[in-house]
Amino acid sequence: MLLLCFMSYAGAASAQDEEEDLLSLLEEEPTTEYATASFKTTRVINGHSIENVAGGVLDLKISHRFGMLNSGAYNLFGLDQASIRIGFDYGITDRLMVGVGRSSHDKVYDGFVKLKLLRQSSGERWMPVTVSLLSGAYLKTINWQEPERDNYFSSRMSYPNQLLIGRKFSEGTSIQLMPTVVHRNMTALKSEAHDVLLAGIAARQKLTKRISINVEYYYALPDQLREEFQNSLAVGFDIETGGHVFQLHFTNSTSMIEPGFMTETVGDWGRGDVHFGFNVSRVFTIRTPKD
Amino acid sequence: MLSVLVLFAAITVSQAQDKYFTKTGKITFYSSTPMEDIEAQNKTTTSVIDTKTGKMEFAVLMKAFQFEKALMEEHFNENYVESSKFPKANFSGTITNLGDINFKKDGTYKAMVKGNLTIHGVTKPIEVPGTITVKDGAIQAVSTFNIAPEDYNIEIPSLVREKIAKQIKVTVDMAYEPFRS
């Protein structure tokens, strides 16, 4: 009898609790939350970010770098000269993207594959960083400087390989590290390295929901490149307007592609050898993911 | 002693039959403008309904809304509902015409539900009509209503105002099954 009393009491108590919060009846299923939009686009500025375009999405990128700011008012601070890259990136899946492009500087055709190996997540599955692998092939088609000697097609090629290791620390702040090796089939001097090792770091800080400031720096390990080459440093803003992302930036690199800005940057920030530039990105959904 | 146990078992069973739940409820929303139609679907809504008291609760994970375009989904989470800050939308309310609905008998019943809807950290009272269908011991609840993003402090910048409707049509479709603890 006592037991019965106790049971009915317990029953009443639990009924009262349930009235307060019905949903607490259901056990929360453990979920995994993946970090999204660590960077606004697939590029920080010149180089790649840990972001991929989504599966089935085509991203048309048109990028410009003007001449150097210190070229004076006669050239309207570089605006009279412009180099351009037109490129298409396509997401085969959410984790695998490919891209092609063509730059006017050195007349380079480029192609790359980017694969997201790990995705930053919290919850049931915990992963502190996103890791992507970028691998590309770049073909310089500018006329040979010395056409009279034996020139091989293979000498036009170079191959960058990068690991992109990034973390979105908070809603506004993301940082990534980019250990990189650029293989160049041909160098100007014998003393230069064919395989150039670089350490890159990039960060993004949101200023508002739609505007962020980005910084990107590639440090070439010493004694690999000629004295005249500089490390690439770029600072810029991402401005998002619906379907477009505008990236406006300042950089000491003329080239917008990996072997170029990583190993052939001649601009010196200290002297004002700085290019103003922008990337415009417009995405098109080619294939909608089936549900 | 045996009778006590039987009695207890009977209580548990009757208790269990009062409550129904789902973890795979569907919520879709639809924004239609001359510029663009935007549709998103969430298939992982959790909800519990207590047929004795008429109380209903919903929890909706904002990041689980799937859009046709990946960029829309990113904008939805990043710019509009700010999913990292406000991961869930909630509704807690009661059926106001509980007397008109017989959950023990198969049939289709009109229902009015009144309660508080929380989206983007803002709670507003709403009252919506719906339909409850009882069949073979399961309950289906369907409702369609409009909400205005503005009411929930969801800012829409002037540049895209033409593309996002002032009133968003929300459709709720829940297939409940009996809850057994």
Q: What is the CATH number of the domain that holds B60?
A: 2.40.128.110
Of B19, B66, B75, the CB nearest to A25: B19
| Distance from C-alpha of A206 to C-alpha of A201, rounded to nearest angstrom | 17
The percent of residues in chain B predicted with pLDDT above 70, rounded, is 91
Q: What is the reported pLDDT for B147?
A: 94
Interval B131-139 mean pLDDT: 92
Q: Are B139 and B49 in contact (CB under 8 A)?
A: yes
| Distance from C-alpha of B43 to C-alpha of A223, rounded to nearest angstrom | 57
Q: Which of A236, A218, A265 is nearest to A47 (CA)?
A: A218
E strands within chain A?
Answer: 32-34, 57-68, 82-91, 96-103, 108-118, 121-123, 130-140, 157-168, 173-184, 195-206, 211-220, 232-241, 244-251, 275-285
Q: How many domains does chain B have?
A: 1
Backbone phi, psi, residue B158, to 5°: -60, -30
Q: Are B42 and B66 in contact (CB under 8 A)?
A: yes
Backbone phi, psi, residue A140, to 5°: -85, 125
Q: What is the reported pLDDT for A9?
A: 47
Residue A285 identity (one-letter amino acid): T
Helix (H, G, I), strand (E, B) or coil at B62: helix
Interval B50-68 mean pLDDT: 93
Q: What is the reported pLDDT for A16?
A: 44
> A179 is written with which tokens?
């250990």
Q: Is residue A283 within 8 angstroms of chain B, CB to CB?
A: yes
ipTM: 0.73
Q: State pTM to two decimals.
A: 0.81
Buried b / exposed e along A241-278 (16+ C-beta atoms within 10 A)? ebbebbbebbbbbbbbbbbbbbbbbebeeeeebbbbbb
- Secondary structure (DSSP) of A1-27: -HHHHHHHHHHHHHHHHHHH-GGGGSP
Residue A272 inside a domain? The answer is yes
Interval B44-48 mean pLDDT: 94
Task: Find the range with the poorest average confidence among A7-16, A165-174, B64-73, B99-108.
Answer: A7-16
> A163 is written with which tokens?
């690991």
Q: What is the reported pLDDT for A32?
A: 86
Backbone phi, psi, residue B162, to 5°: -70, -20
Interval B153-181 mean pLDDT: 89
Q: Is residue A241 within 8 angstroms of chain B, CB to CB?
A: yes
Instruction: Quote the domain boundaries for residue B14.
Output: 2-178
Q: What is the reported pLDDT for A23?
A: 82
- Which chain A residue is nearest to residue B75, measuring alpha carbons? A242
Residue A95 CB neighbours (<10 A): 16
- Which chain B residue is nearest to residue A21, measuring alpha carbons? B57
Helix (H, G, I), strand (E, B) or coil at A264: coil
CA angle A216, A172, B69 (to 5 degrees): 95
Q: How many domains does chain A have?
A: 1
Q: Do A36 and B181 touch (CB under 8 A)?
A: no
Could you tell me the pLDDT band of residue B70, with boundaries at 50, 70 and 90? confident
Query: Most B CBs within 10 Å: which of A8, A22, A58, A119, as the mutation test of the B interface?
Result: A22
Residue A145 inside a domain? The answer is yes
- Which chain A residue is nearest to residue B4, measuring alpha carbons? A4
Buried b / exposed e along A39-77 (16+ C-beta atoms within 10 A)? bbbbbbbbbbbbbbbbbbbebebebbbbbbbebeeeeeb
Backbone phi, psi, residue A7, to 5°: -65, -45
The CATH number assigned to the domain holding A92 equals: 2.40.160.40
Residue A26 inside a domain? The answer is no
Burial label, B89 (beta-carbon count in 10 A; 0-12, 13-18, 19+): buried
The percent of residues in chain B predicted with pLDDT above 90, rounded, is 70
Q: Is residue B169 within 8 angstroms of chain A, CB to CB?
A: no
Residue B7 with chain A: CB contacts under 8 Å: 4
The DSSP output letter for B181 is -
Q: What is the reported pLDDT for A94?
A: 92
Residues 6+ apart with CB under 8 A from A84: A62, A63, A64, A103, A104
Query: For chain A (length 291 residues), average pLDDT per consecutive 10?
Result: 49 46 79 89 96 93 92 85 94 96 94 96 93 96 85 90 96 96 90 93 94 96 91 95 88 94 93 93 83 49
Instruction: Quote the domain boundaries for residue A141.
Output: 32-285
Could you tell me the pLDDT band of residue B9, with boundaries at 50, 70 and 90? low
Q: What is the reported pLDDT for B76?
A: 92
Could you tell me the pLDDT band of residue B15, with boundaries at 50, 70 and 90? low
Interval B12-38 mean pLDDT: 83
* Mean pLDDT of chain B, nearest integer: 89
Q: Do A22 and B57 touch (CB under 8 A)?
A: yes
Q: At what angle do helices A2-20 and B2-18 cross, to 10 degrees?
A: 10
Of B7, B69, B159, the CB nearest to A285: B69
Residue A21 inside a domain? The answer is no
Residue A264 inside a domain? The answer is yes
Q: Do B59 and A19 touch (CB under 8 A)?
A: no
Q: Are B143 and B25 in contact (CB under 8 A)?
A: no
Residues 6+ apart with CB under 8 A from B44: B23, B24, B25, B61, B64
Q: What is the reported pLDDT for B1?
A: 54
| Distance from C-alpha of A186 to C-alpha of A140, rounded to nearest angstrom | 11
Closest CA of chain B from A219, distance in Å: 32
Residue B160 with chain A: CB contacts under 8 Å: 242
